[in-house]
């Protein structure tokens, strides 16, 4: 990646969105997004801030190319993002049905589920260590 226009293009590509959708999300015109990606226009501080907010990318990375593309998220931020996605799913989506079922468990049932999870950690401890190292 050479410049900010390349990094903006990368953010858009990673998002899986079309430039028209990105423009709508940022409240700018589609031609402006194309000009940002081509380097014909330089983003304002506001546009940079909006891109970072909308796509969860590091402002330092977007401006300079240094560091990680995405800001590390806390566990609560990860959960919030996950449940935000779940809430946007159709009601008949399997993942949404699982989360709904979990939300209906009593405290006692949740404790049993935690015990099962702890037993699985004994069986698969290397998986947890790898996941912790990745974070």
What domain range includes position 27? Answer: 4-64
**What is the reported pLDDT for 1?**
45
Nearest 5°: the CA angle 101, 105, 111 is 130
Q: Which residue has the tokens 């800001």?
A: 71
**This prediction's pTM:** 0.59
Kindly state whether residues 122 and 103 are assigned to the same domain: yes
Do 41 and 89 fall within a single domain? no
Per the prediction, the chain carries an average pLDDT of 89
Average pLDDT estimate for 20-24:
95
Same domain, 53 and 92: no
Cα distances (angstroms) measured from residue 61 to each of 21, 36, 70: 23, 16, 8
For residue 81, give every residue at least 6 positions away whose Cβ sits within 8 Å of its Cβ, in sequence order, or none.
73
* Residue 134, CA distances (Å) to 50, 64, 88, 131 in order: 28, 24, 27, 5
Percent share of the chain, pLDDT over 90:
67
Q: Are residues 52 and 86 in the same domain?
A: no
Quote the number of domains for the chain: 2
Report the alpha-carbon distance of residue 52 to residue 68 in Å, rounded: 13
The tokens describing 104, both together, are 């209906």
Q: What is the pLDDT of residues 36-55, one digit of tens each?
A: 999 999 999 999 999 999 99
Same domain, 104 and 126: yes
Number of Cβ within a 10 Å radius of residue 37:
20
pLDDT band at 117 (very low <50, low <70, confident <90, very high): confident
Tens of pLDDT, residue by residue over 88-107, are 888 889 999 999 999 999 99
CATH of the domain at 51: 1.10.260.40
Q: What pLDDT score does 107 carry? A: 96
User: Per the structure block, which two tokens stand in for 54?
Assistant: 């909308």
In a domain, 69, yes or no: no
């Amino acid at each position: 990646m050479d410049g900010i226009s390349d990094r903006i293009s990368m953010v858009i590509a990673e998002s899986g969105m079309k430039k028209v959708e990105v423009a709508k999300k940022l409240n700018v015109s589609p031609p402006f997004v194309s000009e940002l990606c081509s380097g014909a226009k330089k983003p304002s501080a506001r546009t940079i801030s909006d891109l970072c907010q909308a796509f969860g990318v590091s402002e330092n990375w977007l401006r300079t190319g240094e560091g990680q593309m995405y800001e590390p998220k806390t566990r609560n931020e990860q959960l919030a993002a996950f449940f935000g996605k779940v809430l946007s799913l159709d009601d008949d989506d399997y993942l949404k049905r699982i989360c709904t079922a979990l939300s209906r468990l009593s405290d006692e049932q949740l404790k049993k589920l935690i015990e099962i999870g702890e037993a699985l950690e004994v069986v698969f401890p290397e998986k947890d260590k790898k996941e912790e190292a990745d974070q």
